[in-house]
Amino acid sequence: FLLPPYYSVSVRSPASIEEVEAAPDANGGGEEANRPRVVQSNESSAKVDEPVATENSDAAPAEASVDAVNGKIPPTELIPQHPLEGVTLTERTVRITGNKKQIEAAKDIIKQAMSQVLVEANGVTRTLVLNRPKQLNALSSEMITCFLRCFTAYEEDDGVKLLIVKGKGRAFCAGGDVAAVVRSINNDSWKYGAHFFRNEFLLNYIIATYSKPQVSLLTGIVMGGGAGVSIHGRFRVVTDSTVFAMPETALGLFPDIGASYFLSRLPGFYGEYVGITGVRLDAAEMLACGLATHFVSSDRLSLLEESLKKVDTSDPFAICGIIDQYSQQPSLKEKSALNRLEIINKCFSKKTVEEIIASLEQEAPNVADEWIASAIQSMRKASPTSMKISLRSIREGRTQTVGECLRREYRMVCHVMRGDFSRDFFEGCRAILLDRDRNPKWMPPRLEEVHDEVVEKYFSKVDDPEWEDLDLPPRRSHGRRLVPKL
């Protein structure tokens, strides 16, 4: 099978498989210690499934790959600590050796690590498939790590010119697996959550500043973290089934993953409306406001994908030309809030959340549209703290680069994970994702009780000697520019 870049198997001897799994690496453990490792033995030999032959691949034969991980290339060079450092690898096939029990254990470890992201190679195109359909492809820590290594390696690989990202099943990606984050924080430490978001935000940054074109095929649900691995990319193709939302304020969180960058660049004050209310947008609305670049009907999407897999260029104009051949311009529904952008601008340009709600309530009797009543209802149910920090975050994002937005959002999310000033995130996840009673008890429960001094603290550095600001590597680009098609 295809190994995503930077995934390899460390062959060590003598030891049992359990000992190898638990053993710290030469650099002192950490993330390296949890990677798949295989024990070497001369008792028997077996392949991990069948090696996949790929066109235009530098893959070494299976035996040569064993040589690489069997001492000729140190594992610390094969799998660098930082995803942007070290050598660049392309696809590899892997042969593992050992007794039957060891081989089966090693295969299980590798498959579990790899199965959540499938990598398909077609010429110079690589397709990354989010593969947790039962969880609506919610981003796990393993998926984020795999994406990081794929994007990093492919950017340096001249044999890769185009990336396609899609989801398996009825969702592209319903967001980050925050329920798993909450469980881990409850069982361990807030630093697990900080590590999860640090890697996720680094991935968002790499995608936003990527030098090669990325085409995201946004079928079904696109929410939260799913937006982070797609909206920052160059091409975002929506279809009949696409549903987009940033529902974080209902969870006691805020629109993160660099959302303060792209929401603040939507027409007028539409970004405040989308980010604070968590409203769901259809494909036509995404295209009209600039979140999407193209609309392709569901019955033509597979044809587009096949055409993209035949390209031999990284020229974004050429890629855009191919997508244009299959795209069309959908019409906004009459009830769409984008048809009332002047009212949205009037209300969501107010200075405070309290003033926004008051303005909406003042407009409601004069407008029969249901979107106003829905917006008011959503804001009445959302976390007061979340709405206030979200509004300020989007406002600050207007004058910041994508990197600056992500650094600020990382500070904010670390305060949320620590529960420094509010436990609303844990209460929201309990009510919506875990117990599912959908009746969160926010603290404080009213907007007027969330004072400006508390909001200010979310944007400050974390008071912990072991905490560090988000360190983003220097990149040539500063992020994509969203172009509305209103």
Instruction: Please give the C-alpha separations between residue 320 and each of 212, 216, 232, 325, in angstroms, as whole numbers.
Output: 13, 13, 16, 9
225 is catalytic: yes
Q: How far apart are the first and last CA of the chain?
A: 45
Alpha helices in 278-352 (DSSP H): 283-289, 298-308, 316-326, 341-348
Cα–Cα distance, 109 to 94 (Å, whole number) = 13
- Residue 106 · residue 97 · CB < 8 Å: no
248 is catalytic: yes
Residues 6+ apart with CB under 8 A from 196: 141, 144, 176, 181
Cα–Cα distance, 160 to 124 (Å, whole number) = 5
Q: From the candidates 32, 157, 177, 248, which is the catalytic residue?
A: 248
Cβ atoms < 10 Å from Cβ of 145: 23
Q: Which residues of 95-131 are buried (b: 16+ CB within 10 A; e: fewer)?
A: bbbbeeebbebbbebbeebbebbbbebbbbbbbbbbe
- Residue 178 · residue 253 · CB < 8 Å: yes
Cα–Cα distance, 410 to 400 (Å, whole number) = 14
Nearest 5 degrees, angle CA 402-CA 404-CA 407? 110
The pairing of strands 45-47 and 95-97 is antiparallel
State both tokens at 427. Answer: 């209460």
108 is catalytic: no
Provide Rg for the chain, Cα atoms: 23
Cα–Cα distance, 245 to 276 (Å, whole number) = 10
Cα–Cα nearest to 425, from 411, 441, 410: 441
Q: Which amino acid is at 465?
A: P
Cβ atoms < 10 Å from Cβ of 377: 11
- Residue 340 · residue 308 · CB < 8 Å: no
256 is catalytic: yes
Q: From the candidates 175, 176, 224, 233, which is the catalytic residue?
A: 176
Q: From the candidates 98, 220, 224, 225, which is the catalytic residue?
A: 225
Cβ atoms < 10 Å from Cβ of 460: 11
- Residue 40 · residue 12 · CB < 8 Å: yes
Residue 334 gets which letter from DSSP? T
Q: Which helix (H) or strand (E) holds 470?
A: none
Residue 481 gets which letter from DSSP? -
State both tokens at 331. Answer: 């019409």
Cα–Cα distance, 369 to 372 (Å, whole number) = 6
Q: From the candidates 25, 177, 256, 272, which is the catalytic residue?
A: 256
- Residues classed as catalytic: 176, 225, 248, 256
